[in-house]
Amino acid sequence: MANVVVVGAQWGDEGKGKIVDWLSERADVIARFQGGHNAGHTLVIDGKVYKLSLLPSGIVRGGKLSVIGNGVVLDPWHLVKEIAILREQGVEITPETLMVAENTPLILPIHGELDRARESGNAVAKIGTTGRGIGPAYEDKVGRRAIRVADLADRATLETRVDRALAHHDALRRGLGLPEVDRDALIAQLLEIAPSVLEYAAPVWKVLNEKRKAGKRILFEGAQGSLLDIDFGTYPFVTSSNVIAGQAATGTGIGPGAIDFVLGIVKAYTTRVGEGPFTAELNDADGQRLGERGHEFGTVTGRKRRCGWFDAVLVRQTCATSGVNGIAFTKLDVLDGFETLKICVGYELDGVALDYLPTAADQQARCTPVYEELPGWSESTEGARSWAELPANAIKYVRRVEELIQCPVALLSTSPERDDTILVTDPFAD
């Protein structure tokens, strides 16, 4: 049976939540493989709105197993809070429907404090983090001083891990003018939350491999977008993990051979939250209109997103680095009513034409867009569920995007409602 990886192919906020929910009907297992609670998914099902930031999108769908993999950094207090909120909305969550990898590193309160202290004191160039401790938690993971889910089960191990972490953090905190950590209070906090997390702990790598051998369909869900990848994004204005499709294997403990289809989620225009280069950004009435029509405010942070025309250069690049087989094209309806649309088809850097985003930050900042214009459409595409319901110019726009990014459209989304989706190629088809 086919297993599918879903990745954002821009800077995030492409509509992954709806697409993952839509695909989860065909999946048996939904596995989150990177990131933390710094990126949100908004799902609209039968008019009911669910806001997720840590739990996999499939959690709202009964009869599915949702998994948080080891590639995620987990805030245990946020996990418990998010579970409680969903339960109040009628979602059943039990150890049979949710598993957390035992080797998942934890986000501690000290990580958020460090994150915020660094960002507020950075006079050189702010990264634009959410301040939720994601970066510092990943730093501790690669620095081999993280506290992981399994450590919560044994007090002696937990105390050793805390001491190792604080030997690093207390020195940092002194340098930043922060008080040293109350060791005993931190241990007490962790021991208090431990039972609520450990009930979901499992050897996820083992479970997923057994599910695969049994012929179950697995849907791998990423957070953020490929342009925020720590290696291939607009560094240093990126997240602290690998976001591209290859992370699905290492972030869950399943081999890359288990991946059969990579679906890239692509918005019909471009948005970005926070700092960093954005070649096709619009600081005019068109940009304002895209933001208003697209309701471009962050699910987690509430921050207003920067908006611009579709950038085919960036999406072609992310489709290559993630090995995307097909894209899910979202928010086409936001473009309704524009008399003329533009697509960024190339860059110019110091008089030289480029067909890719350069790696150097100073060069990224100096790139200017080369646009191609297409006629817009006055008819509404909202809620369309077949090609026949789309205006001719809307279809031409989609087809031109396919040509420019060198990747076909597999799904087309025309509203936040899960059923307002045109299926071209089923990613789960054998």
Residues 6+ apart with CB under 8 A from 420: 382, 383, 384, 385, 413, 414
Residues 6+ apart with CB under 8 A from 414: 332, 333, 381, 382, 383, 384, 385, 420, 421, 422
Catalytic residue among 41, 111, 211, 342: 41
CB atoms within 10 A of CB 124: 5
- Binding residues for GTP, by number, are 12-18, 40-42, 305, 331-333, 413-415
CB 348 within 8 A of CB 354: yes
CB 296 within 8 A of CB 304: yes
- Binding residues, by number, are 12-18, 38-42, 130, 144, 224, 239, 299-305, 331-333, 413-415
- Binding residues for IMP, by number, are 13-16, 38-41, 130, 144, 224, 239, 303
- Binding residues for substrate, by number, are 299-305
Catalytic residue flag (residue 141)? yes
Catalytic residue among 111, 141, 169, 342: 141
CB 3 within 8 A of CB 218: yes
Query: In terms of Cα–Cα distance, which of 79, 7, 1 is closest to 36?
Result: 79
- Binding residues for Mg(2+), by number, are 13, 40
Catalytic residue among 13, 21, 75, 229: 13
Q: E strands within 317-376?
A: 326-330, 340-349, 352-354, 368-375
Catalytic machinery residues: 13, 41, 141
